[in-house]
Amino acid sequence: MTSSPTADRPEPAPDDVDRLAGVDLAAEPIFLMARAAALGSSMANRGLAPLGLKVRSYSILAVACSGTGPTQRELGDLLRMRPSQTVAILDELEQRGLVERRTDPRDRRSKTVVPTGPGRELYASAKAAVDRAAETSLGALSPRDREDLARLLRLLAF
């Protein structure tokens, strides 16, 4: 009896999907962005796993370490997460001693998220892991192509 491809490995091998690269769907930008994001997230998750992070928790930690003092709501909006998802990830990061919630001086009803010392240290290691994943994921692109891609994605995202 043969098992399904997903039972043996989390992602199809490139040979498994190469034959589908010519389908109409593969020419649609929205599909291509979604597929590239899924592949990149999967690769980043593998690099982040030894640090006890996933892409979403890494993203929250990264923004917390940006020095902008984001609120919980801003984090959820930026990362397109439901409030319950944002709170659950923040709870985990806070329990690990990586971030703290503080009353927002601009609005006492909301909380800002700030990193702790250990949070900043973990972020530095996590950023290096994500950079390695990006290097692997984007290895086929020249430095100029990477800059162009980042510029175009910023236009779409913001």
The mean per-residue pLDDT over the stretch 147-157 comes to 95
* Radius of gyration for the alpha carbons in the chain, expressed in angstroms and rounded: 18
Residue 8 has pLDDT above 80, yes or no: no
What is d(CA 45, CA 77) in angstroms, rounded to the nearest whole number?
21
Residues 6+ apart with CB under 8 A from 53: 61, 122, 126
In the prediction, which pLDDT does 3 show? 39
* Alpha carbon distances (Å) from 118 to 43, 105, 131: 24, 24, 20
Average pLDDT score over the chain: 90
In the prediction, which pLDDT does 80 show? 96
In the prediction, which pLDDT does 105 show? 87
Domains of the chain plus CATH, in order, are: 55-131 (1.10.10.10)
| pLDDT above 70: percentage of residues in the chain | 91
Q: For 13-48, how does the pLDDT look when each residue is reduced to its tens digit (9 = 90+)?
A: 555 788 888 898 989 999 999 999 999 999 999 999
Q: Say what the pTM is.
A: 0.84
